[in-house]
Structure 1
């Protein structure tokens, strides 16, 4: 079967939307609404999509549950303002797509890719038969060190995904990459793997998603639409990406600041020292990995260059009132019992 040809065929839902486009709005009567920044919008939940849609293609699993999925955007459908509780990547494979994101209208053409963090309000305009877009839906838990580590530390995409990983960061954020035509064969190959019942499927898909991200790094057409942030936010983003090995002197050199001036500015703007900010990021990462992986604790510490494990254990017990081992066992037990979401476990 030729995958690209199959994608152009109208599905049952697309035929229904084409015939009764306005009536498709009734579907949203069953979708919950939430208030975000004084706007009432629909909430698309990852787990609900897994349950409702048979056309979602599972790319990777986490604890035997889908963690990354592919979905062809349903043409002719009405998609009002909404947010997700997952990260969404939309790739325009053919034709075009109009999307309004946080009040800004974008005309996405073939080869465009949009990355949307959770809490980002957006809507999609009506599409026609020639407009093929593929959505990649990613649970935050999947964006582990395994994925983040393939990005060069200063890559804009690294900063975007690190921010998405930050459980405490539920601010709207989006990122546009244009003219990524060499991504198309990778997307088609991912879809093809879903239809081929052969061995090593999971390993192949794992490699393909990494190749997908690495190919993106070749693009020179980044448009970062949160780039109007203040200098202190740029500093915080830089710390978020480089927290494993960062030093005050290296950070100051990157931003062409005197180290003493940088230290004072950070303290004045945040009320915290440079060392405290870095330590907070390390703690967030360690907490996350304790819950989302089975890696030995020492290996997790080594990954973020915690050389004094005794000092870390003292700090951890003071902060969490338990040891890292106890923390891992306790919260994994809660999650197993209540089917709790990792975001709930880590929220402040």
Structure 2
């Protein structure tokens, strides 16, 4: 896909405005939306979207509808009785021929973490799944899901002071049902190519960035935001994928790489500790020394001395 032609949308309102679709069904005050797709797309059918990237989760419940959707380089059919979802960061496009009864739920990672719990991906790791091919359900199971998402829709339209909490709790029920039907044996460590690609890209950029630091080509150490920007991902999403797939946080990866580069410079060069500190982004050599000692239990000077004695 030609990334120059890909639009990135941070909200559903932004996406719908760009596509010329009605936005009055979307409440801008809550990072959660649910409506029947028929109410916004029916007059425009057949409808084909351009390729775009979304920074929010999308769940589709197709009781009666048809078309197809594309995630990255994979295309899947949309048929009656299908359930599918996508998560932030993917290239995405869809075509609709029929939307007689298709309920669409969109929500942000912030909504999940603020209204359910901060460790939502520990309980529901399948939310990080690379792709979720549409799953066909029988009429009984479709009716089971329908009861839940229609109740969510009812609460979404209400003005209850507890609306967010009610919606969040009902959405947990929906997630539990998805987990029950499709993901009981899901393990994110063995999940497919997209998450693996994110981890691989992060590691490659980490290596490149620290080479540039140690060579004096750049002065500022990347933050999580910088690594996320490099892949057009939300920093929280990138952090979650890295932790889920590798067992280590981005902060740990950066710290380990920082110490490894510092050791290499101390061992294999004659430049001063002050210069090493500067190259690795520390404004004060004392800060670098404290950082190095915290992670190695030795000062930079002591480590260099030990390595010199070992070689002699």
Provide the TM-score with structure 1 as the length reference. 0.44
Structure 1 or 2, whichever has the larger Rg, is: 2
